Amino acid sequence: MKPISLTQFLIEQQREGRINADLRLLIEVVARACKRISIAVGKGALGGVLGSAGTENVQGETQKKLDVLSNEILLEANAWGGHLAALASEEMDDPHPIPDRYPKGEYLLVFDPLDGSSNIDVNISVGTIFSVLRCPEGVKNPDEKAFLQPGTQQVAAGYAVYGSSTVLVLTLGDGVHQFTLDREQGNFPLTHSRLRIPEDTSEFAINMSNMRHWEPPMRRYIEELLAGKTGPRRRDFNMRWVASMVADVHRILTRGGIFIYPRDLKDPGKPGKLRLMYEANPMAFIVEQAGGAATTGRERILDITPAQLHQRVPVFLGSKNEVERVTGYHLAADRAGEPA
């Protein structure tokens, strides 16, 4: 049987009363923007888009030409449709208002236009991550405060991976679904419904080069995994680290695993590398919807009320039993009053 397309899937969701017409349009527009980004990424050196743009984003990170282009594609695609009240991007200091010449809608769109961008120039998978919130009632001109809602308030989240194929993974709060871009037809057929992350895993993803900066419970957990069959876990574990969160999370959704970017003490003022609103919240929503778990090592990511748009958090997500175990190690160390 021919798979249904993203458009058909969304129409069915609307008929079943899960989404309204504006949210359907929003997801369609984001998917179309991802298709354009996928084309730009796929051109590589031929598109003249590799390399640095010579600018820095709000986090002080050097922007790649494709970071800037992807951000522009998402802004332009979403500004005029009438479904959004405002947008916020990892690449912009402040929320982006909808220009007055366009109608405004009830949703807020938050995105990381090109995650893993340090991998662009070396032809390794990168992606786009997005999250959709409702604009608080009565707010006509949403500022940063309107966006500071816990992840439990997300009405949709998803990501695209621009890899050997382009996939779009989406949750509307009722399971996780995967669509694959058909490059000839230009549409996104549904290729996997209701993805499930196995509860147990023997695969972990972490940047081990930071080990000397980790907190003791974090070191304990990884040392136990590394000890393999002869250690307390009594089995061998394998490690993978793409350094594009989208690609690492996609692998975990496909075959299980745990992804960790812990707090480290290199820069004690920074509670982690990854951004709560652009990376951790949408991925946590997706992972929980697929039966996995997502914490900061201490609390559920989706329960955090953000204090700032560009806030960072430690991230532990994926196969439930491993996330619960390492979270348990952190909580036990806190209870015992162990110094960090």
- Residue 116 binding ligand AFP, by CB under 6 A: yes
Measured from the CB atom, the residue of 237 and 278 that comes closer to ligand AFP is 278
Residue 111 CB, nearest approach to ligand AFP (Å): 13
**Residue 254, CA distances (Å) to 67, 81, 270 in order:** 26, 33, 31
Residue 63 CB, nearest approach to ligand AFP (Å): 10
Distance, in Å, from the CA atom of 125 to the CA atom of 115, rounded to the nearest integer, reads 9
- Under DSSP, the state recorded for 210 is G
Tokens of 137: 């009632």
Measured from the CB atom, the residue of 245 and 276 that comes closer to ligand AFP is 245
- Residue 123 binding ligand AFP, by CB under 6 A: no
- Residue 121 binding ligand AFP, by CB under 6 A: no
b vs e for 243-259, b when ≥16 Cβ sit within 10 Å of the residue's Cβ? ebbbbbbbbbbeebbbb
Residue 112 CB, nearest approach to ligand AFP (Å): 8
Measured from the CB atom, the residue of 28 and 112 that comes closer to ligand AFP is 112
Which residues within the stretch 60-99 sit at the binding site for ligand AFP (CB under 6 A)?
Answer: 61
Tokens of 23: 């949210």
Query: Contact 154/131 with Cβ under 8 angstroms?
Result: yes
Which residues within the stretch 149-208 sit at the binding site for ligand AFP (CB under 6 A)?
Answer: 207
- Out of 139, 243, 265, 332, point to the residue binding ligand AFP (CB under 6 A): 243
Contact segment (CB under 6 A) with ligand AFP among 14-22, 99-107, 232-240, 243-251 equals 243-251
Contact segment (CB under 6 A) with ligand AFP among 32-40, 116-124, 300-308, 327-335 equals 116-124
Q: At residue 315, what are phi and psi to the nearest 5 degrees?
A: -130, 125
Rounded to a whole number of angstroms, the CA Rg of the chain reads: 20
Q: At residue 148, what are phi and psi to the nearest 5 degrees?
A: -80, 65
Tokens of 283: 């991925």
Measured from the CB atom, the residue of 129 and 156 that comes closer to ligand AFP is 129
The site for ligand AFP (CB under 6 A) is made up of 61, 115-118, 207, 243-245, 273-274
